[in-house]
C-alpha cells in the first residue's frame, strides 16, 4: 500500500517485517540476540494505517514458548497477555487485544492517528536514561561518576546519593541487566525522583544513615541494540556474576569492582518477568551461607513493602518453585553470599497484577514509577537492621 510503512528502524526498535501489504495480515518476526536467547521483545512503528482494521501476526512467537525456564510448564506462558502495548505519542500507552494460537501471537487494532507505535512493553531508551542522569546531577547531594566503558564504548554511569561516613550503610540499586525489561528503569526513575525530595522526612533520615549507589543502566549496549537479554558480546549479564570477564562482561566486572571498594549492606537488582502477574521478590534463601538473620531481614522487607503499598502482595510463589541451591552467577545471589547482606531480586510484571487489573494499560510505566517511589519508605523501616 502506498504511503504505508511498518518498521522497527526506530530508537529501541526491534522487529522483522515479513509482509505488510495487507493491513489485515501484517506478518512480523521477532529478532534474536543469538540462537539461544528466549525471544520476546518487539517495538515498531506503523504509519499510514489510520482508520484501517489492522491485524499484526508475530509468526515466530512460539519459539520463546518452547524455551521456557525449567519448572514453568504448568504456568501460563509469556504470550498469555491482555494484549500488546500501543501509543501515539510514546508517552501514553494502552493495551490492544491479543491472542496466541499455534505458535503465532496476534493482535488487532484500528489506529486513530497516522502514526502508532507497538511494543511488548513501553521502551525506556538510553537517551532517556541520559536525560534522567543529567537532570538529577544538579542536586547538591547527588554525584555522577563513570565506572568504565562497555564493549560498544558506552559509559557505565554510577549515581551516588549522599555522602559516606562512619557506620553509614551502603545501599545499591541496579536496573536493566536485561535490556528489554524496561519497567526496571521506570522503577529506578521513581526511586530517584523521591530521593531528590530532601524535604521529605523519610529521605532526609535515609541520607543521614546511608549512601545510595544507583546503576541506572547495567547494559547500555543491549539497550541501544534493542536486545532482549544480552550485552554486545552475546552474554546474559545476570549469569556472569561469579566470574565476570572484563572483555566479555565488563559491565558486571566494573560494578563488582565498585562494590568491593564501597561495600554493600543492601542491594536490589531490578528486572521484569514476562509470565508473572505480580511484583515478585527473591531473597538470599538458598545461598551457601544462608542464615536466620538474612531470612528474617527478607521477611521484614516483604512485610514492610506489603504494608506500604498494595502493589506488592505477599504469597505469590515463584513459578517452578525455588531452586535447591542458589545460582551464584546471578547478581542478587552472588552479592548476598559475598557481602553477607540483604540482597534481593525484584521482578515486575509485563502483564498486570492479580490484585488490581487495569484493562486499559495493565502494569504501566506510571504504576512502575510510583512503585519505585515507595522503596525509600521500605528502606526506612529496615535501614537500622541491615548490619
**SS3 sequence of 32-74:** CCCCCCCCCCCEEEEECCCCCCEEEEECCCHHHHCCCCCCCCC
For the record, the C-alpha cell of 163 comes out as 555522602
> Pick from 71, 89, 119: which residue ends a domain?
119
Distance CA 61, CA 248 (A): 29
Q: Do residues 101 and 192 both lie within one domain?
A: no
The number of folded domains in the chain is 2
The domain spanning residue 226 has which CATH number?
A: 3.40.630.10
Q: Do residues 335 and 238 both lie within one domain?
A: yes
Q: Do residues 296 and 157 both lie within one domain?
A: yes
* 94 phi and psi angles, rounded to 5 deg: -145, 160
pLDDT tens digits, 212-235: 999 999 999 999 999 999 999 999
Q: Do residues 222 and 364 both lie within one domain?
A: yes
pLDDT tens digits, 163-173: 988 899 999 99
Q: Do residues 152 and 106 both lie within one domain?
A: no
The domain spanning residue 63 has which CATH number?
A: 2.60.40.3120
Distance CA 190, CA 370 (A): 6
Q: Do residues 67 and 211 both lie within one domain?
A: no
Q: Do residues 213 and 311 both lie within one domain?
A: yes
At residue 88's C-alpha, the angle toward residues 86 and 91, to 5°, is 85
* 158 phi and psi angles, rounded to 5 deg: -125, 125
> Pick from 90, 119, 148: which residue ends a domain?
119
Helix (H, G, I), strand (E, B) or coil at 380: helix
Q: Do residues 102 and 174 both lie within one domain?
A: no
Strands 84-87 and 98-101: unpaired
Judge if pTM exceeds 0.75.
yes
Domain with 376 in it? 126-385
In the prediction, which pLDDT does 1 show? 65
Q: Is the pLDDT of residue 195 over 90?
A: yes
For the record, the C-alpha cell of 76 comes out as 501460563
Active-site annotation holder among 189, 251, 337, 347: 347
Q: Do residues 50 and 183 both lie within one domain?
A: no
Q: Is the pLDDT of residue 184 over 70?
A: yes
Q: Do residues 180 and 306 both lie within one domain?
A: yes
Helix (H, G, I), strand (E, B) or coil at 201: helix
pLDDT tens digits, 250-260: 999 999 999 99
In the prediction, which pLDDT does 7 show? 98
For the record, the C-alpha cell of 27 comes out as 506478518
Helix (H, G, I), strand (E, B) or coil at 116: strand
Q: Do residues 231 and 278 both lie within one domain?
A: yes
> Pick from 119, 145, 178: which residue ends a domain?
119
251 is a catalytic site residue: no
Q: Do residues 222 and 108 both lie within one domain?
A: no
Amino acid at each position: 500500500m502506498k504511503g504505508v510503512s511498518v518498521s522497527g528502524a526506530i530508537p529501541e526498535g526491534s522487529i522483522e517485517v515479513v509482509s505488510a501489504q495487507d493491513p489485515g495480515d501484517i506478518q512480523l518476526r521477532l529478532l534474536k540476540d543469538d540462537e539461544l536467547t528466549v525471544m520476546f521483545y518487539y517495538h515498531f512503528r506503523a504509519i499510514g494505517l489510520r482508520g484501517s482494521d489492522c491485524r499484526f501476526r508475530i509468526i515466530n512467537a512460539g519459539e520463546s514458548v518452547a524455551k521456557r525456564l525449567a519448572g514453568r510448564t504448568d504456568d501460563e506462558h509469556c504470550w498469555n497477555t491482555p494484549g500488546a502495548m500501543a501509543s501515539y505519542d510514546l508517552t501514553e500507552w494502552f493495551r490492544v487485544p491479543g491472542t496466541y494460537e499455534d505458535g503465532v501471537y496476534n493482535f488487532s487494532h484500528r489506529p486513530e492517528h497516522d502514526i502508532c507505535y507497538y511494543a511488548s512493553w513501553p521502551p525506556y531508551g538510553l537517551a532517556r536514561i541520559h536525560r534522567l542522569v543529567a537532570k538529577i546531577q544538579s542536586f547538591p547531594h547527588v554525584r555522577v561518576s563513570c565506572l568504565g566503558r562497555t564493549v560498544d564504548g558506552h559509559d557505565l554511569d554510577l549515581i551516588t546519593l549522599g555522602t559516606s561516613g562512619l557506620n553509614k550503610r551502603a545501599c545499591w540499586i541496579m536496573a536493566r541487566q536485561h535490556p528489554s525489561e524496561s519497567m526496571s528503569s521506570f522503577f529506578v526513575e521513581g526511586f530517584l525522583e523521591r530521593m531528590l525530595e530532601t524535604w521529605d522526612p523519610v529521605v532526609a533520615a535515609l541520607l543521614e544513615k546511608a549512601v545510595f549507589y544507583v546503576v541506572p543502566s547495567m547494559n547500555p549496549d543491549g539497550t541501544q541494540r534493542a536486545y532482549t537479554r544480552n550485552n554486545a558480546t552475546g552474554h546474559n549479564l545476570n549469569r556472569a556474576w561469579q566470574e565476570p570477564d572484563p572483555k566479555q562482561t565488563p559491565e558486571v566486572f566494573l560494578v563488582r569492582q565498585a562494590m568491593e571498594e564501597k561495600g554493600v549492606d543492601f542491594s536490589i537488582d531490578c528486572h521484569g518477568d514476562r509470565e508473572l502477574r505480580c511484583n515478585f521478590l527473591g531473597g538470599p534463601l538458598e545461598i551457601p551461607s544462608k542464615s536466620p538473620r538474612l531470612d528474617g531481614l527478607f521477611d521484614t522487607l516483604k512485610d514492610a513493602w506489603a504494608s506500604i503499598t498494595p502493589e506488592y502482595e505477599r504469597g505469590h510463589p515463584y513459578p517452578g518453585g525455588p531452586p535447591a541451591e542458589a545460582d551464584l552467577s546471578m547478581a542478587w545471589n552472588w552479592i548476598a553470599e559475598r557481602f553477607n547482606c540483604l540482597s534481593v531480586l525484584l521482578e515486575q510484571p509485563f502483564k498486570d497484577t492479580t490484585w488490581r487489573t487495569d484493562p486499559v494499560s495493565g502494569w504501566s510505566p506510571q504504576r512502575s514509577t510510583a512503585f519505585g517511589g515507595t522503596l525509600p519508605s521500605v528502606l526506612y523501616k529496615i535501614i537500622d537492621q541491615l548490619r
